[in-house]
Structure 1
Amino acid sequence: MTYDVESIRAHFPALTAGTVPEHTVHFDSPGGTQTPQSVGQAIFNTLTGPLSIRGRRSPSERNADDAVTGFRSAMADLLGADALGIVYGRSATQLTYDFSRHLSRDWAPGDEIVVSRLDHDANIRPWVQAADHAGATVVWVDFDPETGELAPAAVAAVLTDRTRLVAVTAASNLIGTRPAIAEIAKVVHQAGALFFVDGVHYVPHAFVDLAALGADFFVCSPYKFFGPHCGVLAADPALLAGIHPDKLLPSTDVVPERFELGTLPYETLAGVTAAVDFLAGLGELATGVPARPSSSRRERLRASLRSAEAHEDALRDRLESGLAALPGVTVYSRAAQRTPTVLVGFTGRRAADATEFLFERGILAPSGSFYALEASRHLGLGEAGGLRIGLAPYSTPAEIDALLAGLAEFVLG
């Protein structure tokens, strides 16, 4: 089936030539995607319309309440979760820190917490620090630097009857590796431990089924999939009901509100809902084939994300074929299952220099370790990391060709 990428790009003001002073080719989507017009409009409409504390009496109260319930419903549809288990946070990092504090209250010396070197530091440091405060032991799981793979067997090998929690990414934001999360979840639960999954880099590139993944806690960031800057945690409401965070005495103890301190940013929540709705309609935009009138948002999300994934994978193949023809270029993204995110290095040249060289030609492909510090070190790249090329549903073959031409000029010039 065809994929009309221009129909998608037309909804992004930042991607429309002539609407910005300097049109830039974006390969920086792992750090945050561009935003469609409908998301900005939803934020504007909510923020400038009647708005007050949540309730059902006045229009302003209803608008606030609808923004919250709409957000929970939209994220539940996106993740295959229960709407009553959707928790808002300022960022995925903040949510992980919060829950590391909540869960570590019951840890004690002798308990073990497992973290992976494949992960973004936001799914490592909160657990390491919480374990340190509790006197618990941190156990590390390594990935294979040659293949980029994090094997379920490697996780299983370190589990004991003292393991309390395992934290693993569903997709590496540095090299794109997608571990077999469902298999890891089985061995974690067999050990009687909780499983905390960082889905920030996974959600933009895959159809998420939380039950199938087996994660007890799953975090993501809407600004990675066309939404505003914030974080979301999904969990079983029954599991959340057993966790009691510190809160103000008059504030509600209802789940999930007990974890959301203060008045929520209704305009941001409305923007998240609009982003999920845009994702749900992406397949229709790309293929020109309307969804069945009876299709649920969840069904439309499945079709859209699978269409986008096929488009991104085809572009990644085009990119990697071109990179293979360039001398002195090393590709570190090698796992069998991976996102369209490619980390590269250059013999005798700094990745940061390649970034600057490309930027001078209107191509934005940043370099660094991108907070995946342990992964970058494990690959032998230190803190400098590499050049990260991230694809999105709005990326085009012409942009890939422009990038490859720029890199060829860099390495051969």
Structure 2
Amino acid sequence: MKTAKSNYPITKVREQFPALKRTYKDKTVAYFDGPGGSQVVGTAIQAITNYMEKGGANLHGAFPSSWETEKVISEARLAVADFLNVQANEVAFGANMTTLTIAIANALGKNFKAGDEVVVTEMDHRANIDPWIMMAEDRGLTVRWIKVDAETKTLDLTQLDELINEKTKIVAIGMASNAIGTVVDLKPFAERAKKVGALLVADAVHAAPHLPIDRDEMQVDILLCSAYKFFGPHIGIVAIKEELFKHLQPYKLTTSPDYYPDKLETGTQNHEGIAGIPSAIEFFAQFGEGETRRERILNGIEEVEKHENALANRLREGLSAIEGVTVTQAGANVPKTPTVAFQVSNIKPGDICKTLAEEHSIFVAAGHFYASTLGDVLSVNDSGGWVRAGLAPYNTEEEVERLIAAIKNL
């Protein structure tokens, strides 16, 4: 079990997030809603402001603000390339992960025919399920589901060879559950997908703030994440393998670029938001050591993870000791993100969130968090889903104890 380093610079970290100064009901707010969207690091806010104050512009103009916009996008692609260990020309931006996935699914669907198959899981956020189901319905494909083992809170691999077969074209897997934190080992899915010639699509939205990511090492063809989950602006990100990207034919205007990655970026992009991405990634790098930004990012994520996991372990321990509280989690041998989902007997999750906000200035969320199939499998949707508390680099031991005490008071 990892424990927090005594020299973790929590004061320095918190100083970097302006939102942490907020008070509610005369108390300093404790943010535990990071899995739904983290607070934004001040350097990213400043980068967004700087771009807008200097004067924004569209691309391909013969004037400085247009050139500067192109440089902003280029620098963001390079930062993402170091973050995910991909090539900069494989990185595209969009409104969010959901919008990008729908566009990619529709583009890939042009190459499929009735009788082909796609594979999704009961664990995933619907953003990595429904785009593939909608495409399958339009093209006459068969949808197969990898089930969740309700006891272990992990994916059931017993029928993997039957589910991923010679007819399979797409295997869509989440790297980690945004609802209950289970980290998924992609290796068996990648190996099976490659054996039958299927594409592997990985949803890294929840994983990106907590786990080191190497798309090619994981044998992933299409990897998606969102900057607003790792301390940046609301921008969706996708990294598509170059050979696949070259031949992708997304729906777009006839006058928009035919070259990648631009051909996937329909319309004018959120340039000011894109300007904030490098600073969000640099947040991790500041904790790390190494000669390259990639090395510093990986080392930095490791240091942050120690702090987050120590807090998450304390929260799980504290909540589990309270009578009437049920924590939904995989076993101790299963890696988890610092995301804790729980229920309290005879109290609706939504009511718990209201009480925590109004009486304790603690911000947490309730529901199925778009992992609705998982909620059905684990029989929590009818009772309002879970209360979900997510740990971030800026959370403190005091905040965790405050949350535990507040649940005891219920």
Give the TM-score normalised by the residue count of structure 1. 0.93
Q: Which whole-Å CA distance do the structure 2 matches of 1:52 and 1:231 have between them?
A: 20
**Pairwise CA distance, 1:79:** 0.6
Letter in 2 for 1:172: S
Question: Counterpart of 1:169?
Answer: 174
Q: Which moved more, 1:42-51 or 1:88-97?
A: 42-51
Question: Counterpart of 1:287?
Answer: none
**Correspondent of 2:41 among 24, 36, 43:** 36
Q: Is the 8 A contact 2:119 2:145 kept in 1?
A: yes
Letter in 2 for 1:331: V
Question: Counterpart of 2:399?
Answer: 399
Does structure 1 residue 319 correspond to structure 2 residue 315? yes
Within-5 A mapping of 1:291-370: 291=289, 295-335=291-331, 336-360=334-358, 361-370=360-369
Question: Counterpart of 2:163?
Answer: 158
Within-5 A mapping of 1:181-196: 181-196=186-201
Deviation string, structure 1 residues 40-74 (Cα, Å, up to 9, x no partner): 11001111214333348532122111111011101
Deviation string, structure 1 residues 168-207 (Cα, Å, up to 9, x no partner): 1001100011110123211111121111111100001011
**Residues 1:152 and 1:242: Cα distance change in structure 2 (over 3 Å):** farther
**Pairwise CA distance, 1:137:** 0.8
Q: Is the 8 A contact 1:200 1:219 kept in 2?
A: yes
Does structure 1 residue 52 correspond to structure 2 residue 54? no
**Pairwise CA distance, 1:366:** 1.1
Q: Is the 8 A contact 1:328 1:347 kept in 2?
A: yes
Q: Which whole-Å CA distance do the structure 2 matches of 1:377 and 1:92 have between them?
A: 23
**Residues 1:19 and 1:269: Cα distance change in structure 2 (over 3 Å):** farther
Letter in 1 for 2:56: L
**Residues 1:84 and 1:403: Cα distance change in structure 2 (over 3 Å):** same
Q: Which whole-Å CA distance do the structure 2 matches of 1:41 and 1:5 have between them?
A: 21
**Correspondent of 1:256 among 254, 261, 270:** 261
Q: Which whole-Å CA distance do the structure 1 matches of 2:249 and 2:320 have between them?
A: 52
**Correspondent of 1:99 among 97, 101, 104:** 104
Q: Which whole-Å CA distance do the structure 2 matches of 1:272 and 1:109 have between them?
A: 40
**Residues 1:55 and 1:110: Cα distance change in structure 2 (over 3 Å):** closer
Letter in 2 for 1:374: T
**Pairwise CA distance, 1:152:** 4.3
Q: Which whole-Å CA distance do the structure 2 matches of 1:213 and 1:315 have between them?
A: 28
Q: Is the 8 A contact 1:113 1:163 kept in 2?
A: yes
Deviation string, structure 1 residues 352-402 (Cα, Å, up to 9, x no partner): 222122112111111100111001111111252111011111111100100
**Correspondent of 2:218 among 198, 210, 213:** 213
Q: Which whole-Å CA distance do the structure 2 matches of 1:137 and 1:75 have between them?
A: 34
Deviation string, structure 1 residues 101-131 (Cα, Å, up to 9, x no partner): 0111122221111110100011111111110
Root-mean-square deviation (CA, aligned residues, Å) is: 1.8
**Residues 1:154 and 1:304: Cα distance change in structure 2 (over 3 Å):** farther
Deviation string, structure 1 residues 190-242 (Cα, Å, up to 9, x no partner): 12111111110000101111112111111101000011011001111111001
Letter in 2 for 1:378: V
Q: Which whole-Å CA distance do the structure 2 matches of 1:182 and 1:162 have between them?
A: 20
**Pairwise CA distance, 1:156:** 3.3
Q: Which whole-Å CA distance do the structure 2 matches of 1:193 and 1:353 have between them?
A: 44
Structure 2 unaligned segments of length 5 or more: list them.
none
Q: Percent identity, aligned pairs only?
A: 35
Q: Is the 8 A contact 1:237 1:256 kept in 2?
A: no
Q: How many residues align?
A: 401
Q: Which moved more, 1:62-71 or 1:156-165?
A: 156-165
**Residues 1:257 and 1:343: Cα distance change in structure 2 (over 3 Å):** same
Q: Which whole-Å CA distance do the structure 2 matches of 1:107 and 1:123 have between them?
A: 18
Q: Which whole-Å CA distance do the structure 2 matches of 1:129 and 1:18 have between them?
A: 43
Question: Counterpart of 2:183?
Answer: 178
Q: Which whole-Å CA distance do the structure 2 matches of 1:63 and 1:20 have between them?
A: 43
**Pairwise CA distance, 1:140:** 0.9
**Residues 1:354 and 1:50: Cα distance change in structure 2 (over 3 Å):** closer
Letter in 2 for 1:355: C
Query: Secondary structure of the residue that 1:203 maps to in structure 2?
Result: coil
Q: Is the 8 A contact 2:106 2:251 kept in 1?
A: no
Q: Which whole-Å CA distance do the structure 2 matches of 1:210 and 1:144 have between them?
A: 26
Letter in 1 for 2:379: G
Letter in 1 for 2:363: L
Q: Structure 1 stretches (4+) deviating beyond 6 angstroms?
A: 18-21
Letter in 2 for 1:276: I
Q: Is the 8 A contact 2:24 2:361 kept in 1?
A: no
Q: Which whole-Å CA distance do the structure 2 matches of 1:377 and 1:70 have between them?
A: 42
Question: Counterpart of 2:88?
Answer: 83
Structure 1 unaligned segments of length 5 or more: list them.
285-290
Within-5 A mapping of 1:195-234: 195-234=200-239
Q: Which moved more, 1:398-407 or 1:154-163?
A: 154-163
Q: Which whole-Å CA distance do the structure 1 matches of 2:158 and 2:238 have between them?
A: 27
Q: Which whole-Å CA distance do the structure 2 matches of 1:362 and 1:20 have between them?
A: 7
Question: Counterpart of 1:126?
Answer: 131
Deviation string, structure 1 residues 56-101 (Cα, Å, up to 9, x no partner): 8532122111111011101111111111100111000000100110
Query: Secondary structure of the residue that 2:119 maps to in structure 1?
Result: strand
Q: Which whole-Å CA distance do the structure 1 matches of 2:65 and 2:395 have between them?
A: 39
Question: Counterpart of 1:143?
Answer: 148
Q: Which whole-Å CA distance do the structure 2 matches of 1:33 and 1:51 have between them?
A: 26
Query: Secondary structure of the residue that 1:212 maps to in structure 2?
Result: coil
